[in-house]
C-alpha cells in the first residue's frame, strides 16, 4: 500500500466528535474546492458508522449544495431516519463554515436471497494492457492550463490505479466522439486487516465514481474539461445502487455514457463491473457543464 492510499484511508476514517456527528479532513485536490467524490464517500462512511454491521448500503442519493473548502474540516451530521427489520435509512448533512455543502440519503439492507439477472458486461481490453496515469498524463502536459495540473492529477490518482480504455476528453478536445467512456480502476494496494470491510470497499467505489463520470458528456461535444479551460463543470447530484459484492482493490470496469445534455447541465450514467463480469454498482449523475462566455 503506497502512502497516497494510506492517506486516502485516513481521510475516510472520520473522527467521532459526538453521537452521530463526525468530522473529516480533505484530500489534496486539483481544483480549489473539495473533490465531490470525497464528500460523498465521507458522508457514506458517517452513515455506515451508525448502522449495524449486518446491514450494507444498497443505495444512496445525494445533492452537492455548495463547493467545499479544502482548507477546513467538514462536519457530518447523521439523522437516524428509520431502523426497520430489513432496511435502515440514514440522512447525512455535510456542514462547513456553518452552512450545508452536501446532503445524502442512504438505505441499508440485511442480506437476503432473491431473483437475479443483469446486463452483460461490455467488451473492454484487459487493464494490464492500458497506460497508467504516470504514463498517460505527462504525454498530454501541453493540453492543460498549468504545468502544475499534471503533477496534481498524478498525485490524486496515485491512491487509485485508474486506466482509460480510450483517450480521455483532455486528450481529444475539439473532436466530438460517441458519448461513451470506460476506465478500469482499483486501489493502489491491497486492503487488509481493519481496512478490509465490505463497507469500506463501497465507500472507496463511491470516491472513485465521481472522478470520470461526466467524461461522456464532454466527449459528445469535443470538450476537454476544466483542465484545458474550455468548460466549467461541477457535480449537482449523485446516485448509486450497490447490487453485488465487490472489492475495490481488484480491477473494476467503470462503463459510462451520456444520454443528454441541455440548459448548462449534462446527465451521465455509469455501470461498475467486476473483472469476471458481475454488475456490482449502477451510478447516475447530473452536473453543470458550461462553456465560458469567451468560448461560446
Neighbours of 20 (CB within 10 A): 16
Cell of 35: 473533490
Average confidence score pLDDT of the chain: 89
More confident residue, 66 or 222: 66
- State CA 130 to chain mean position distance: 21
The residue written with cell numbers 454488475 in the block is 279
Cell numbers at residue 223, please? Answer: 470538450
Q: Is the pLDDT of residue 52 over 70?
A: yes
pLDDT at 150: 55
Summarize pLDDT for 93-147 with one digit per residue, the tens: 999 999 999 999 999 999 999 999 999 999 999 999 998 887 877 766 665 545 5
Q: Where are the alpha helices (DSSP H) in the chain?
A: 3-12, 36-48, 133-136, 147-157, 198-209, 215-220
* 253-278: pLDDT as tens digits: 999 999 999 999 999 999 999 999 99
* Between 208 and 140, residue with greater pLDDT: 208
pLDDT at 252: 98
- Asked if 25 contacts 7 with a C-beta cutoff of 8 angstroms, the reply is no
Catalytic site residue 62? Answer: no
Query: What is the structure's pLDDT at 153?
Result: 62
Q: Which pLDDT score, from 0 to 100, does residue 29 have? A: 56
The x, y and z cell numbers of residue 269, run together, are 450514467
Residue-wise pLDDT tens digits, 140-178 = 666 554 554 555 566 667 899 999 998 777 666 677 889
Residue 158: the pLDDT is 82
Kindly tell me if the per-residue pLDDT of 204 is higher than 80.
yes
Residues with Cβ within 8 Å of 112's Cβ and at least 6 positions away in sequence, in order, are 86
Please tell me the pTM assigned to this model: 0.92
Annotated catalytic residue within 62, 96, 105, 210: 210
CA distance 283 to 260: 15
Per-residue pLDDT at 155 = 65
Q: What is the pLDDT of residues 21-33, one digit of tens each?
A: 999 998 755 567 8
Quote the CA–CA distance of 144 and 173 in Å, as a whole number. Answer: 11
By the 10 Å C-beta count (0-12 exposed, 13-18 middle, 19+ buried), 108 is classed as buried
pLDDT at residue 285 in the model? 98
**In the chain, pLDDT over 70 holds for what percent of residues?**
87
pLDDT class of 203 with cuts at 50, 70, 90: very high
- Residue 67: name the closest of 93, 43, 91, 100 by CA: 100
What cell was used for 175? 473532436
Rounded to an integer, what distance in angstroms lies between the CA atom of residue 127 and that of residue 165?
A: 8
Q: Is the pLDDT score of 229 beyond 80?
A: no
* Biggest distance spanned by C-alpha atoms of the chain: 56
Q: Which residue among 235, 255, 257, 261 is the active-site one? A: 235
Q: Which residue has the higher pLDDT, 226 or 65?
A: 65
104 phi and psi angles, rounded to 5 deg = -135, 140
Output 171 or 10, whichever has higher pLDDT: 10
285 is catalytic: yes
Amino acid at each position: 500500500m503506497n502512502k497516497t492510499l494510506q492517506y486516502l484511508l485516513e481521510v475516510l476514517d472520520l473522527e467521532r466528535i459526538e453521537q452521530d456527528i463526525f468530522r473529516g479532513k480533505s484530500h489534496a485536490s486539483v481544483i480549489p474546492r473539495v473533490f465531490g467524490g470525497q464528500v460523498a464517500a465521507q458522508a457514506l462512511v458517517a452513515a455506515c458508522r451508525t448502522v449495524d454491521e449486518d446491514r450494507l448500503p444498497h443505495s444512496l442519493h445525494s445533492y452537492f449544495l455548495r463547493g467545499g473548502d479544502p482548507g477546513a474540516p467538514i462536519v457530518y451530521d447523521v439523522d437516524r431516519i428509520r431502523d426497520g427489520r430489513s432496511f435502515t435509512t440514514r440522512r447525512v448533512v455535510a456542514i462547513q463554515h456553518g452552512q450545508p455543502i452536501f446532503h445524502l440519503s442512504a438505505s441499508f439492507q440485511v442480506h437476503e436471497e432473491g431473483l437475479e439477472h443483469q446486463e452483460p458486461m461490455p467488451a473492454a481490453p484487459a487493464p494490464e494492457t492500458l497506460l497508467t496515469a504516470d504514463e498517460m498524463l505527462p504525454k498530454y502536459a501541453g493540453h492543460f492550463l498549468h504545468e502544475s495540473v499534471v503533477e496534481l492529477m498524478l498525485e490524486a490518482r496515485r491512491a487509485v490505479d485508474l486506466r482509460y480504455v480510450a483517450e480521455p476528453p483532455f486528450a481529444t478536445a475539439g473532436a466530438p466522439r460517441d458519448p461513451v467512456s470506460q476506465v478500469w480502476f482499483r486501489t493502489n494496494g491491497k486492503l487488509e486487516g481493519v481496512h478490509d470491510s465490505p463497507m469500506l470497499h463501497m465507500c472507496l467505489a463511491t470516491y472513485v465514481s465521481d472522478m470520470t463520470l461526466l467524461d461522456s458528456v464532454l466527449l459528445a461535444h469535443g470538450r476537454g474539461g476544466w483542465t484545458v479551460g474550455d468548460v466549467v463543470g461541477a457535480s449537482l447530484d449523485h446516485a448509486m445502487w450497490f447490487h453485488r459484492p465487490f472489492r475495490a482493490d481488484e480491477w473494476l470496469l467503470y462503463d459510462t455514457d451520456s444520454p443528454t445534455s441541455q440548459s448548462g447541465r449534462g446527465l451521465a450514467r455509469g455501470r461498475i463491473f467486476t473483472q469476471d463480469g458481475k454488475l456490482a454498482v449502477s451510478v447516475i449523475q447530473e452536473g453543470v457543464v458550461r462553456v465560458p462566455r469567451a468560448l461560446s
